[in-house]
C-alpha cells in the first residue's frame, strides 16, 4: 500500500513539474523588466491608456494622430472608424512587417478595439518593440460610445 502511494505521488509529481518548467525564462525576464515600472497609481499612465474624453479633445484640437482599429475584419465590416487617416489592422496581422511599416512614428498612434483589452495588449507589445508614442483607448469603442452623445461629439 505504501509503495502504491509513493508511486502515485511520484507519477503526479512527474506530471505537474514539467509544465512549471516549460516557460521561456528569457521572455519572462524581459516582461519582468518591462512591467517593473508599473506601480499601482501609475498603471494607466504607464500603460499609455487614453480616456475617451481626452481622445475626443485631441480630435477637436486637430492633434496629429493615427487611429488604428485592431478588431477582426468581420467586426470592422459592421462598425469601423471614420476618422481621416485611420487604419484597420487586425491584431493577428499587426506584427507582420508590412503592417508595422504602416504605423507612423512621427505622431501619436491610438489603438482601439471593442472593449479596450486587445488594443491595450497590442499597444503594450508595440511599445515593447520600440513604438514609443502608442496609446490604447480606455474602454475601447464601447467606452468611447458611452462617453459620446450629441453634446460631447461636436
If you search the block for the grid coordinates 504605423, which residue do you land on? 103
Which residues does residue 66 pair with via DSSP β-bridges, in sequence order?
109
Q: For position 51, which CATH number holds? A: 3.40.250.10
pLDDT: which is higher, 153 or 134? 134
Distance separating alpha carbons of residues 115 and 11, to the nearest angstrom: 43
Confirm if 72 and 65 have CB atoms less than 8 A apart.
Answer: no
> How large is the C-alpha radius of gyration of the chain?
21
- Is 112 found in the same domain as 58? yes
- Is 55 found in the same domain as 26? no
- Is 75 found in the same domain as 60? yes
pLDDT value at position 24?
79
Q: Model-level pTM? A: 0.72
pLDDT at 2 over 70: no
pLDDT at 48 over 90: no
- Is 147 found in the same domain as 75? yes
pLDDT tens, 57-89? Answer: 999 999 999 999 999 999 888 888 888 889 999
pLDDT: which is higher, 149 or 40? 149
- Is 114 found in the same domain as 75? yes
Give the residue-averaged pLDDT of 121-147. 91
- Is 147 found in the same domain as 118? yes
The total domain count for the chain is: 2
- Is 75 found in the same domain as 9? no
CA pseudo-torsion sign 32, 34, 36, 40: negative
pLDDT band at 8 (very low <50, low <70, confident <90, very high): low
Q: Which domain holds residue 83?
A: 40-153
- Is 138 found in the same domain as 67? yes
Q: In terms of C-beta distances under 8 Å and separation of at least 24 residues, what long-range contacts does 45-49 make, across chains too? A: 47/120, 47/123, 47/124, 47/136, 48/123, 48/124, 48/127, 48/134, 48/135, 48/136, 49/116, 49/120, 49/135, 49/136, 49/137, 49/138
If you search the block for the grid coordinates 520600440, which residue do you land on? 130
Amino acid at each position: 500500500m505504501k509503495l502504491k502511494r509513493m508511486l502515485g505521488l511520484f507519477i503526479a509529481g512527474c506530471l505537474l513539474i514539467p509544465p512549471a518548467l516549460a516557460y521561456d525564462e528569457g521572455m519572462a525576464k524581459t516582461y519582468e523588466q518591462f512591467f517593473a515600472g508599473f506601480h499601482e497609481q501609475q498603471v494607466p499612465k504607464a500603460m499609455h491608456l487614453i480616456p475617451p474624453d481626452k481622445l475626443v479633445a485631441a480630435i477637436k484640437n486637430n492633434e496629429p494622430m493615427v487611429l488604428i482599429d485592431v478588431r477582426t475584419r468581420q467586426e470592422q465590416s459592421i462598425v469601423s472608424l471614420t476618422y481621416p487617416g485611420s487604419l484597420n489592422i487586425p491584431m493577428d496581422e499587426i506584427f507582420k512587417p508590412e503592417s508595422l511599416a504602416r504605423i507612423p512614428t512621427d505622431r501619436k498612434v491610438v489603438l482601439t478595439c471593442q472593449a479596450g483589452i486587445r488594443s491595450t495588449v497590442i499597444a503594450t507589445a508595440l511599445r515593447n518593440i520600440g513604438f514609443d508614442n502608442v496609446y490604447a483607448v480606455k474602454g475601447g469603442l464601447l467606452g468611447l460610445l458611452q462617453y459620446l452623445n450629441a453634446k460631447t461629439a461636436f
